[in-house]
Amino acid sequence: MKIAIVAPSPVPYTIGGSELLFSGMQQSINKFTPHQCELIKLPVKESNFWELIDSYYSFYMLDLSHFDLVISTKYPSWMIRHKNHSIYMVHHLRGLFDTYSLFDEPYEIPSDLRKGVVKKIHEICSKKEYSGERTNELFSFLFQLKSEDEDYPKSLFKFPGPFIREIIHYLDAFALHSQNISQYFSMSRTVLMRLDYFPREVNVKILHPPSNIGDFKCSSYDYIFTASRLDSPKRINLIIEAMHFVPHQVKLKIAGTGPEYKKLKELAEGDKRIEFLGFVPESQLVELYSGALTIVFIPYDEDYGLITLEGMMSRKPIITANDSGGPLEFVINGETGFIVDPVPEKIAEKINLFIENKEIAIRSGYEAYTKVKNISWKRFVFELLGENTINNTQKKKVLVLSTYPCFPPRGGGQHRLYNIYSRLVKEYEVTLCSIVESNKGHQCVVLPEGFEQICIPQSKEHAEAQWLMEQKIGKNLYDVAMIENIEKSDNYVQTVKTLMAKSDIIIFSHPYLFNLKKFIEPNKKIVYDAVDIEYLQKSEFINEKNLLSKILNVEQNACNEASQVWCTSEEDRQGLITLYNISPEKIVVVPNGVDSKFIKFITPEEKILAKQIVGLSQFQTILFIGSWHPPNLKALEFIIKTLSKKLKNTKFLVIGSIKDYYLHTHKNLPNNVLAFGVVDEIEKYEIYKIADIAINPMFSGSGTNLKILDYMSAGIPVITTEIGARGIMITNNRDAIICKSDRFLKEIEKLLGNPEMQETLRLNARKVVETTYSWDNIAKIPANSLKR
């Protein structure tokens, strides 16, 4: 179909919520449907009686018969005449309808003014005969009156006033009559329920519009925030006055401009906590929502209130008033926010509650997001057009529980989580709920790929229990301590229970949170993602039998009670079967992989230039990556004690938190070891460019080493032990050099002196990555296995 959206263009022109709504409607019809849509706008002046009449007449005379469907939006656009006309009601001219009473004007035209052509106009309007013939006659009389208006007192043309009110009520009633409209839509129940907005006999569908802003997120809970035009109906003054009753040192940030700015600024004078931000662009608005503790929005009888939706999409609870109109359609008192009397003390009471009980704000914010997350442009336009082709099949909900976040990905485990679940969102609705260290903040964010990451810090009681264990054992036991102490972090447990109830599939990444399985309702699919064989992994550095027994038991339970077990290699698959006697049929090998699109193949020319820039042209360079993990610690000690002493003219490049461990233990590093610590992915790739070869001298561990795949993807020749290459299908002397530790020095010297061998390994390794270890291909394995 050829579709026209018809709307007024205000004079003077401003971009407000309506303008964004109309452009969003047009763009979404063109994006999500096979139809072609045009947005047609006519300039509208309405500062006096005759400007408003002219605006109504301009739409009345507009010929859009060359379109198959017209959708009008706001007065006076619905005056358009078309055989297939739908209306999406934003609102009437409120000063002549629901707010007319505020002007203290009479509702009837004074009898002494009902004479001449005014009498004829009044008779047409009062008879309420809504036909094209009568409307033509009305406009004819109006233009006659315009030519004679000097013969009438100016009070007749008062705006707002009873005469113009009567005329506009007639014109709107004619335009919206069921004989002229095929479908009726309202943007909110608030608009629908206003007196005289719609004919009484028609069926009106409420269709909530989404925001034009995307990528909402939740990063912190630091301040109070509101955003709106600064004029009296928005009642920003109530929020400012509420701050008098907020004793806490928390900021109130106010975004927006408008005629009340000077007055509000004076009202806030002396309170340094209150910030006026003025106009803010969309990108900054997203950040402001993201960092807010709560959104306070107290307008009077708002049509819709997009700030409510945007705040809830940002996982923030809303404080609104019981006469605020549109926001009341989303805010559930005590659940997604609070509804209060529009008085400063009551507003302050709820602000203080959120400040003093941040966990309530966090939970309410999540419930708020749950309520509005399905409001989207795609759903909007399909319902508006009555299309049946939208896929209404609900994606199954997947909940992943982890002891660390996945974004931004740095360590190998983080890369696995991020790269699998960022691709799984094409077929599933995915939430990753991680417990993090007690000194980190709460986070709730939708990642760019579309899945949700929630991070909740340990409770103080939980952290103290962990520290006591670590003092006794003398090892880092952050993840192991979860087995006994996870229920001490009540905020995390309560959030997980809520998410479990709403999820179809629950995945435990590592076994340490598996005791939370008792909160899962029957008949839900449970998956254990065995990133490593944890009992074997921890046995290498924990000597305490009782603690090892607990790890063994929880991993045994995870393997037995999960309906599926994922592991990273065939070696680990056999190890799980041997150790825990589980059925081979329930095990799915989901290898580790690499994002070969991001970690591009580095050319020799790029490497030469990169080494020149950092002053390493005269040195050969060897790369090693390692986190603070026992097998990596042993590998670094081997590199420093054995290799760096023999290869004094070679520079060793060390990336990762392994640096902190070594410096803590040994105070300093040899001059030929350059340690970079933890870096982001872009920085890491730049370091790859200056590495001639990479090494992986691993002597223990299970699972697979993602760093090997990184090296191979970047085209860095690799020397590794057999354990370091476990789970990766590579051939010695073709894709990498695989040798024992006592051969490492000779193999390094040999490879550094053989550019042809380096090039062979580089090319072959990249080919292996592209064909076998691309995350795009690997992610299909768990996606399909969850359907079984």
Q: How far is CA 646 from CA 304, 481, 649, 673, in A?
A: 72, 41, 9, 12
Span 250-269, mean pLDDT? 95
Bridge partners, residue 225, by sequence: 253, 295
- 344: how many CB neighbours lie within 10 A of its CB? 19
Helix (H) or strand (E) holding 649: none
Amino acid 412: pLDDT: 76
| Helix/strand/coil for 509 | strand
Bridge partners, residue 274, by sequence: 252
Tokens for 308?
């409510």
Reported as a single tens digit per residue, the pLDDT across 137-181 is 999 999 999 999 888 999 999 999 999 999 999 999 999 999 999
Reported as a single tens digit per residue, the pLDDT across 627-685 is 877 888 899 999 999 999 999 999 999 998 888 877 877 778 899 999 998 888 889 99
Q: What is the mean pLDDT of the chain?
A: 92
Three state DSSP letters for 770-783: HHHCEHHHHCHHHH
Cβ(298)–Cβ(324) below 8 Å: yes
Collect all residues with Cβ–Cβ distance below 8 Å to 580 and sequence separation of at least 6: 555, 556, 559, 560
102 φψ region: left (φ > 0), alpha (ψ -120 to 50), beta (else): alpha
- 127: how many CB neighbours lie within 10 A of its CB? 10
Amino acid 329: pLDDT: 92
Reported as a single tens digit per residue, the pLDDT across 444-501 is 777 766 788 899 999 999 999 999 999 998 888 999 999 999 999 999 999 999 999 9
Reported as a single tens digit per residue, the pLDDT across 765-774 is 999 998 889 8
| Helix/strand/coil for 787 | coil
Measured CA to CA, the distance from residue 410 to residue 685 in angstroms comes to 12
Q: How many Cα neighbours within 13 Å face the side chain of 133? A: 1
Q: How far is CA 480 from CA 465, 546, 560, 787, in A?
A: 12, 12, 19, 31
Bridge partners, residue 509, by sequence: 529
Reported as a single tens digit per residue, the pLDDT across 391-422 is 445 789 999 999 999 987 877 788 899 999 98
Q: How confident is the model at residue 389 (pLDDT cuts 50, 70, 90)?
A: very low
Amino acid 388: pLDDT: 58
**Separation of CA 766 from chain center:** 34
Q: Is the pLDDT of residue 327 over 60?
A: yes
Angle between helices 17-32 and 377-385 (to 10 degrees): 80
Give me the percent of the chain exceeding a pLDDT of 90.
76
Reported as a single tens digit per residue, the pLDDT across 520-532 is 998 899 999 999 8
Which residue type, as a one-letter code, is found at position 139?
F
| Helix/strand/coil for 682 | helix
Angle between helices 132-147 and 162-175 (to 10 degrees): 150
Dihedral pair phi/psi, residue 569, rounded to 5°: -155, 165
Amino acid 212: pLDDT: 86
Span 107-121, mean pLDDT? 93
- 566: how many CB neighbours lie within 10 A of its CB? 25
Measured CA to CA, the distance from residue 592 to residue 1 in angstroms comes to 48
Reported as a single tens digit per residue, the pLDDT across 549-604 is 999 999 999 999 999 999 998 889 999 999 999 999 999 999 988 888 889 999 99
**Separation of CA 554 from chain center:** 34
Cβ(117)–Cβ(145) below 8 Å: yes
Give me the percent of the chain exceeding a pLDDT of 70.
99
Reported as a single tens digit per residue, the pLDDT across 89-104 is 999 999 999 999 989 9
Amino acid 726: pLDDT: 86
Cβ(453)–Cβ(407) below 8 Å: yes
Q: How confident is the model at residue 703 (pLDDT cuts 50, 70, 90)?
A: low
Closest CA to 637 of 583, 688, 699: 699
| Helix/strand/coil for 98 | coil
